[in-house]
């Protein structure tokens, strides 16, 4: 018997489960307390009438029925999707160009630093600065436009201009960060591929189309998932520059939810709309994940 013991030990791999659990416990605790519990409570509150100060009362699907019939909700969803489309399309293209330029043309750290600078400015400050730059009467942008003899543009106070303007303000702030993520992805593409292509006589544009873009796909997929989820949550820029106006033309979903909860004391209905936003994001992210095959690479 005494002989068997070491053999058996060797045969059975060491069980790390307990140690692993110990290590992930702090993160798991935070995840449960700050993510799962609020999410579950939010879902519960979406079935109640709750004004934050007196106990909630259960109302079944009333909030969801109201949501389906609420034109402001549907408008908010439409406005949000419009915002995301403009924001992500412009941001991704510009970020990709900046990243490739950083990769192919320069290696200077300070230049990469400059690209990231807008990201270091807080959303609120960026929004305030642009609010002044774009002001109809006093803004320097409109002073320049007027100086060239053109009519002033009501960037943030005209229903046509407001969403593209807010989207571009946020592109300005986030594009450097997105470019840096893509740039990190570019670093993973072996230099040898470009050398081989160059030997075969390929130019920069061909190499970009045939090598960079295909091999960047998993990184681009990740970047898109992160930026789309982030973009859907636009709030601070709207709160500072337009407060949802003019009329409802920049009343994005997050701002409507916030106003409903903390301005109008209708926390139950606000929770129902939050759940709707959660579902929208889950669906979009799942579809993105599938379409872009984010977890596999063509590099192998």
119 binds another protein (CB under 8 A): no
Which residue has tokens 């192919």?
Answer: 104
* Cβ nearer to another protein, comparing 60 with 201: 60
Radius of gyration of the chain (CA): 25
The minimum distance between CB 81 and another protein, in angstroms, equals 15
Binds another protein by CB under 8 A, chosen from 56, 118, 164, 246: 246
The minimum distance between CB 235 and another protein, in angstroms, equals 6
Provide the CA 15 distance to its chain's centre, in angstroms: 39
Q: Inter-axis angle of helices 62-69 and 267-292, to 10 degrees?
A: 70
**Do residues 288 and 225 touch, judged by C-beta distance below 8 A?**
yes
121 binds another protein (CB under 8 A): no
Binds another protein by CB under 8 A, chosen from 34, 58, 61, 74: 34
262 binds another protein (CB under 8 A): yes
Coil/strand/helix, residue 57 = strand
64 binds another protein (CB under 8 A): no
The dihedral formed by the CA atoms of 39, 45, 50 and 51, expressed in degrees to the nearest 10: 10
The dihedral formed by the CA atoms of 43, 44, 46 and 52, expressed in degrees to the nearest 10: -120
Binds another protein by CB under 8 A, chosen from 19, 25, 38, 78: 38
53 binds another protein (CB under 8 A): yes
On the CB side of 33, CA atoms within 13 Å amount to 6
> Which 165-224 residues touch another protein, going by CB under 8 A?
none
285 binds another protein (CB under 8 A): yes
Distance between first and last Cα of the chain: 49
Closest CA to 104 of 169, 164, 189: 189
The minimum distance between CB 79 and another protein, in angstroms, equals 13
Applying CB under 8 A, the residues found at the interface with another protein are 31, 34-36, 38-39, 42, 49, 51-54, 131, 135-137, 154, 156-159, 225-226, 229, 232-233, 235, 241-248, 251, 254, 257-259, 261-265, 274, 277-278, 281-282, 285-286, 289, 295
């Amino acid at each position: 018997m005494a002989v068997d013991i070491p053999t058996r030990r060797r045969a059975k791999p060491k069980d790390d489960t307990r140690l692993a659990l110990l290590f992930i416990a702090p993160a798991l605790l935070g995840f449960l307390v700050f993510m799962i519990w609020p999410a579950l409570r939010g879902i519960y509150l979406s079935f109640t009438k709750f004004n934050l100060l007196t106990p909630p009362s259960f109302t079944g699907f009333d909030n969801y029925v109201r949501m389906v019939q609420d034109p402001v909700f549907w408008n908010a969803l439409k406005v949000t999707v419009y915002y995301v489309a403009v924001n992500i399309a412009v941001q991704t293209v510009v970020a990709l160009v900046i990243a490739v330029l950083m990769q192919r043309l320069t290696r200077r750290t300070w230049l990469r630093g400059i690209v990231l600078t807008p990201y270091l400015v807080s959303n609120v400050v960026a929004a305030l600065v642009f609010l002044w730059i774009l002001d109809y009467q006093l803004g320097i942008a409109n002073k320049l436009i007027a100086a060239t003899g053109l009519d002033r543009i009501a960037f943030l106070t005209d229903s046509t201009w407001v969403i593209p303007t807010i989207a571009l303000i946020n592109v300005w702030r986030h594009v450097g960060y997105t470019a840096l993520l893509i740039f990190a992805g570019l670093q993973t593409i072996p230099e040898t591929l470009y050398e081989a292509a160059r030997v075969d006589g390929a130019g920069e544009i061909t190499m970009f189309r045939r090598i960079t873009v295909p091999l960047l796909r998993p990184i681009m997929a990740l970047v898109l998932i992160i930026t789309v989820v982030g973009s859907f949550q636009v709030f601070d820029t709207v709160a500072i520059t337009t407060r949802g106006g003019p009329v409802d033309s920049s009343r994005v979903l997050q701002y409507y939810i916030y106003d409903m909860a903390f301005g109008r004391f209708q926390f139950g209905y606000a929770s129902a709309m939050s759940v709707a936003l959660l579902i929208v994001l889950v669906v979009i992210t799942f579809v993105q994940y599938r379409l872009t095959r984010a977890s596999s690479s063509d590099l192998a």
